[in-house]
Amino acid sequence: MIENTAQALKRNHKKPQSGIRIRTLNYVMICVSVLLYLLLICITLQASRQYDTMLSATDAYIHCQKYVSLAEKSFDYLTGQARLYTMTLDPQHISDYFARVSAGEHRISALERLQEYPAGDDISTLLQTAMDQAVELTAWEAYAMRLAADSQGYDISSFPELSSLELLPEDQGADSSRLLERARELVFGADYQATKNQAENNITAFLNNVMEQIQQKQQDSISALKSALVRQQVLIGILLAGTILLFVSILRLIVLPMQVFIRNIRDGKQLESAGAYEFRYMALTYNQIYEATAANILMLRNRAEHDPLTGIANRGSFDQCRQLLKGKGTPLALMIIDVNQFKQVNDRYGHETGDQVLKKVATLLEYSFRDSDLPARIGGDEFAVVVMDITAEMKFVIEEKVNSINHALLHPTDGLPRVSLSVGIAFSENGFPEDLYRNADKALYQIKGNEKRSYCFYENAKSTDSENGQKP
């Protein structure tokens, strides 16, 4: 059986024509997922860079705003202290002036910090001009405070920024009133105020230009960030759709076919060619094995249920039929058949001829009765026939068939020797009771070897027994 199965599989081996491979599906999904994740990472990095750019621009604006405000306050504070000193001659104003300078809150220091911002040439020129003007204002303020201090004979040795200044020739030797007047002219004059206004205007223009640059950078960064976020959302949607597609593909190509396969295998059915290529291939292979196995099982069952010589049912099938019909309410008849003088046929013509005679008997029995009836070989030259749906009132049907068969055996046209059959028949109204076989066998015993009678019904057997003083 194994050899036949292997040969059948080798002979019928083929591959499915369609179906995606699981390996191909895995490769495609892995490649697509890796590509999408790489794109997502790139877009995320781009969005992060744009966000950093926006933060940097905001920090730059805050930086510029801080030091522009500091510069503007320093302009006003230093100017105010210088003017107050020239008006009040209170040395505290000098101290406050240089205390602010020492604390790093000088207008020049603030402007120097603004130069850290990477602006264009035009904007840098504005800032440099403002710084030059701030230096000029600081020089005027220091000189004015030196003149005012000299007018009062105030010791300025503790302020090296003032003591190191040299008086102009026109101020040397001037009296105190002239020096004080000259100091006030310097910090209250039109030139001083104009320079201060120009410096402040330049700082304001610088801040406005920087603000425009920063706003443009922020807008560009925001726009790029929005685009990156949109692309990110699209990719996330694609990934989600891909995940759903992968789930559906696995469900359709693997899970559902596997469930169907398990159910069909459990139910003893062939597999449907569905799902991935591997499942289609497995179904094809399984179905080939299934068909080969079924054929072998059928062959073995046929061998187990049929007589190997005659091809009709054997003793096992006959006994199984007896068990199935036991207790059934089905009317039937049982025929027990012997071939007369069969031993003489074997002795005279040989066993091969004897086998041909048995085959001929089996063929005649199978041909003479219906498909619903069961002819069987139950011994060497002994046969039996279970005739279904027949009663004792219809015994003439059996008589005709027995006579027809014996006529064919007694008048052979195939060269085989003449033989005849002896048949015992018993009827039952209730399936196959325990005594049915015994009754038919008793009927057969009554006519065994009787050349004048070829069959006997159990009723006749009972009457014969009675005549002979015997019980059947």
CB–CB of 120/210 below 8 Å? no
Q: What are phi and psi of 435, to 5 degrees?
A: -90, 0
Rg (CA), the chain: 63
- Dihedral angle over CA of 436, 318, 325, 269, nearest 10: 180
d(CA 355, CA 291): 34
Q: Please report which helix (H) or strand (E) contains residue 312, including its range.
A: none
CB–CB of 456/424 below 8 Å? yes
Told to judge if 381 belongs to the known catalytic residues of this protein, a careful annotator would answer: yes
What does the block give as tokens for 172? 């040397």
**Looking at 266-310, which runs of residues are DSSP E strands?**
none
What does the block give as tokens for 297? 């099982």
Q: What are phi and psi of 374, to 5 degrees?
A: -125, 100
Catalytic residue among 381, 414, 441, 465: 381
Q: Cβ contacts of residue 98 below 8 Å, gap of 6+?
A: 159, 161
Burial of 73 (0-12, 13-18, 19+ CB in 10 A): middle
SS3 339: strand
Q: Please report which helix (H) or strand (E) contains residue 231, including its range.
A: helix 190-250
d(CA 180, CA 137): 18
d(CA 91, CA 98): 11
Q: What are phi and psi of 272, to 5 degrees?
A: -80, 140
Strand partners, 376: 313, 384
Name the region of 104 (left: φ>0; alpha: ψ -120 to 50; beta: rest). Answer: left
Cα–Cα nearest to 20, from 8, 12, 28, 9: 28
d(CA 454, CA 403): 8
CB–CB of 339/377 below 8 Å? no
Q: How many CA atoms lie within 13 A of 274 on its CB side?
A: 17
Instruction: Tell me how far CA of residue 143 lies from CA of 138, 182, 433, in angstroms.
Output: 9, 10, 147
Q: Which residues are catalytic?
A: 381
